[in-house]
DNA sequence: ACCATGAGCCGCCAAC
DNA sequence: CGGTTGGCGGCTCATG
């Protein structure tokens, strides 16, 4: 992420996307938009190209040149970056032997191979992820691991690079993936300009937790009410013991049930809620100390450490970038 | 940068 | 008998 700029990259880098019937449109739209905008900031940096088995869908996806060609032709062409996107079509695509074979050959001809969301299953099926660290949509992480035991699946990551293989989490993580690649190619400053153009806050570091607790109201019916209550009472005692009492369960059982239901342990959930609320407060211009007490971090030092864990940056830095809006 | 302490988490087992 | 509950002890890691 902190590479020196080395441009102009002399022939334009061809970014190819692999799409299938019923692919996830946003998986593809994120990288397309990011690379298109990057090409605007650094003229001739990228050329987009899209291969698909469903021309109709591709035509709908973006206003870029898109000769729908067979995948085998795609790898024969000079491609710099190959991105496999996910979606409902992944299951069918896994049965497509020509496609998998083409993907298998890709690393030899392509500078980097990437996936968004369940696109990771395609790379895994082609053996490209064996022994490598990789991620996918959090809901699919377990399945990926059981299906492909050799893959070192790391759930709850936005994106991971291992050698020339990049994988990313669900849907919008494709934007983060593309931004990370652009930063790698053209430098962090260009990537930041692209991010601003796309109206995303900042480039999320790859290690960040995948889904927002604030959005994750569901998290299982069972604790929805408790979660809602927690959000409104962040400043109070939200220890496991206190929460267990509120849920009328023993601490042990509550912790177990909560983790089973939501996929997150109680303390982690509380910390995530607090961190997100604090970030929102800072976005509204709150003072750091104020935000810390309001969301239930006793002191600002504790909040600072939590921020670094979650966002990779202390509150002050985040506050600075947030206020530039 | 380090360390002592405690909260939280989890495996295990017994009780229901 | 299988499943759920809750208590104990050890391990990990955040905290101050």
Please give the Cα distance from A204 to A148 (Å, whole number): 27
What is the distance in angstroms measured between the alpha-carbon CA of A253 and the sugar C1' of B14?
15
pTM, rounded to two decimals:
0.58
Please give the Cα distance from A24 to A288 (Å, whole number): 39
The pLDDT value given to residue A323: 62
What is the distance in angstroms measured between the alpha-carbon CA of A249 and the sugar C1' of B15?
16
Beta-sheet strands, E only, within chain A: 13-19, 46-52, 81-84, 112-116, 133-134, 152-153, 159-162, 165-168
Give pLDDT tens digits for A268-322. 999 989 998 898 888 777 889 999 999 999 888 999 999 888 877 889 887 776 6
The residue with greater pLDDT, A160 or A15, is A160
Token pair recorded at residue A148: 């492909």
CB-CB neighbours of A163 under 10 Å: 11
Covered bases, chain C (protein CB within 7 Å): 5-8, 14-16
Give pLDDT tens digits for A226-249. 888 898 899 999 999 999 999 999
Q: Indicate if CB(A302) is under 7 A from strand C.
A: yes
What is the distance in angstroms measured between the alpha-carbon CA of A262 and the sugar C1' of B16?
27
Residue A126: alpha-carbon gap to chain centroid: 22
pLDDT band for A253, please (50, 70, 90 cuts). very high
């Amino acid at each position: 992420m902190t590479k020196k700029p080395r441009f102009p990259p002399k022939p334009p880098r061809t970014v190819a996307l692999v799409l299938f019937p019923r692919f996830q449109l946003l998986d593809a739209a994120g990288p397309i938009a990011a690379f298109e905008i990057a090409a605007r900031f650094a003229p001739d940096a990228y050329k987009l190209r899209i291969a698909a088995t469903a021309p109709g869908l591709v035509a709908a996806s973006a206003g870029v040149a898109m000769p729908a060609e067979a995948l085998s032709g795609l790898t024969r062409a000079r491609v710099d970056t190959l991105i496999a996107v996910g979606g409902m079509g992944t299951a069918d695509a896994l049965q497509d032997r020509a496609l998998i074979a083409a993907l298998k050959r890709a690393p030899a001809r392509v500078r980097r191979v990437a996936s968004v969301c369940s696109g990771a299953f395609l790379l895994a099926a082609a053996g490209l992820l064996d022994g490598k660290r990789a991620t996918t949509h959090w809901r699919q992480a377990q399945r990926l691991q059981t299906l492909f035991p050799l893959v070192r699946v790391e759930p709850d990551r936005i994106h991971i690079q291992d050698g020339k293989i990049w994988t990313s989490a669900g849907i919008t993580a494709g934007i983060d993936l593309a931004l990370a690649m652009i930063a790698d190619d053209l430098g962090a400053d260009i990537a930041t300009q692209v991010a601003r153009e796309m109206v995303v806050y900042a480039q999320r570091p790859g290690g960040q937790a995948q889904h927002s607790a604030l959005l994750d109201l569901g998290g299982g019916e069972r604790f929805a009410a408790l979660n809602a209550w927690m959000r409104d009472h962040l400043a109070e005692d939200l220890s496991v013991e206190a929460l267990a009492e509120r849920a009328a369960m023993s601490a042990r059982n509550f912790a177990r049930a909560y983790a089973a239901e939501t996929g997150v342990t109680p303390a982690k959930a509380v910390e995530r809620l607090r961190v997100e609320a604090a970030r929102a407060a800072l976005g509204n211009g709150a003072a750091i100390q104020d935000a810390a007490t309001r969301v239930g971090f006793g002191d600002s030092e504790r909040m600072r450490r939590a921020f670094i864990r979650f966002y990779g940056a202390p509150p002050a830095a985040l506050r600075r970038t947030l206020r530039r809006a």
